[in-house]
Amino acid sequence: MAKNSSSFLSGLQLGIPIFIGYFPAAVAFGLVARSAGLLFGDTVVFSMTTFAGASQFFAVNLLRSGALILEIALGVFLVNLRHVLFSASLYQKLSNPGRAQKAFIAFGNTDEVFSVASTREGKVTPAFMAGLEIPAWSGWVIGSAAGFLVGTVLPEDLQISVGITLYAMFTSLLIQEVKRSFRYLGIAALSGLINTVAVLILSIAPGWAFIISIAAAGGIGALILPEEDISGQEITEGHTYDS
C-alpha cells in the first residue's frame, strides 16, 4: 500500500505540469464549443468522456459545418489513430496491470502522458499512471467548463475568433515532425491540396473531404517515408540510429 501511495504521488507530481499546460487549451475549447452551439453540459461531458484535445476541436468544427455523425466519428478515429501505437508501446512498460487498470490507463494515455511515462526509467505501475493521468484529465475537463463560462461574458466576435486555436494546435504538432524531416511538410501540403480539391472542386462534404485527404496523404507517406519504429528510431537498410 505504501509503495502504491508513493508511486501515485510521484505520478501526481509529474502530472501537475500537464494540468497547467492543458488548462488554457481547454479554455479555448470551451469557447469554441459554446460558439458552435453546444450547451454547458454537452461541453463538459464531451471532455470528460472523449479527452482528446485536437480531435475535440476538429469534431466541434465539423459539427458547426453541419457534418454527419459518421463523418465526425471517422475523422476523430483517424486523428486519434496514433494512440494505438502509444498504448502498444506503453503496455511494455506497465507493471502487471489488471484488465480494468489497462482500460483506465488507455483512456488517459494522451501525447503528453505517453511522453512522460515512456521516458521514465524502468517499469511504471498502475498507481503511477493514475497519478499522472488524473491531473491531465482534470485540467482538460475543468478548463473546458471554465472556457464555456468565460464565453458568457466575452463578445461574440472574440468567441468566434478563438476557432483559430484548432489550426494552431495542428500546426504545433506538425512543427515537431518537420524538425525531424521536411518530407512531413510536403505530406501535410499534399493533404491540404487534396482537401481543397475535394471541397471546392468536387463539392464533397467537409467531413468526408477530411477523411479522404488524411487517408490519401497517410498512405502516400507510408510509401515514401523511411520505416520508423514506435520508439522514435529510424530504421534504414538494416541499421538503427536515433532520429
Binned at pLDDT 50, 70 and 90, residue 72 comes out as: confident
> DSSP states of 82-127 as a string?
HHHHHHHHHHTTB-S--HHHHHHHHHT--HHHHHHHHTSSS-B-HH
Q: What is the pLDDT of residue 108?
A: 92
Q: Which of 158, 178, 198 is the last residue of a domain?
A: 178
Rounded mean pLDDT of 69-93?
Answer: 85
Print the domain residue range for 238. Answer: 180-243
> Is residue 241 pLDDT above 90, yes or no?
no
The verdict on 43 and 131 lying in the same domain is yes
Domains in the chain: how many in total?
2
The verdict on 38 and 153 lying in the same domain is yes
The verdict on 25 and 131 lying in the same domain is yes
Which is more confidently placed, 208 or 145? Answer: 145
The verdict on 130 and 61 lying in the same domain is yes
Give bridge partners of residue 239 from the DSSP assignment: 236
The verdict on 141 and 187 lying in the same domain is no
The verdict on 55 and 146 lying in the same domain is yes
Binned at pLDDT 50, 70 and 90, residue 144 comes out as: very high
Which is more confidently placed, 193 or 178? Answer: 193
Identify which of 53-67, 74-88, 139-153, 208-222 has the greatest average pLDDT: 139-153
> Is residue 166 pLDDT above 70, yes or no?
no
The verdict on 140 and 173 lying in the same domain is yes
By the 10 Å C-beta count (0-12 exposed, 13-18 middle, 19+ buried), 172 is classed as exposed
Q: What is the pLDDT of residue 170?
A: 66
Rounded mean pLDDT of 71-97?
Answer: 85
Q: What is the pLDDT of residue 202?
A: 86
Q: What is the pLDDT of residue 23?
A: 92
Q: Which of 126, 156, 178 is the last residue of a domain?
A: 178
CA atoms of 62 and 57, how far apart (whole Å): 9
The verdict on 219 and 144 lying in the same domain is no
> Average model confidence (pLDDT) for the chain?
82
Binned at pLDDT 50, 70 and 90, residue 57 comes out as: confident
pTM of the model: 0.74
The verdict on 142 and 220 lying in the same domain is no
The verdict on 209 and 222 lying in the same domain is yes
> Is residue 240 pLDDT above 70, yes or no?
no
The verdict on 101 and 198 lying in the same domain is no
What distance, in Å, lies between the first and last C-alpha atoms of the chain?
40
Q: Which of 178, 202, 218 is the last residue of a domain?
A: 178
The verdict on 123 and 194 lying in the same domain is no
Q: Which three cell numbers stand for residue 152?
A: 458568457
> Is residue 25 pLDDT above 80, yes or no?
yes
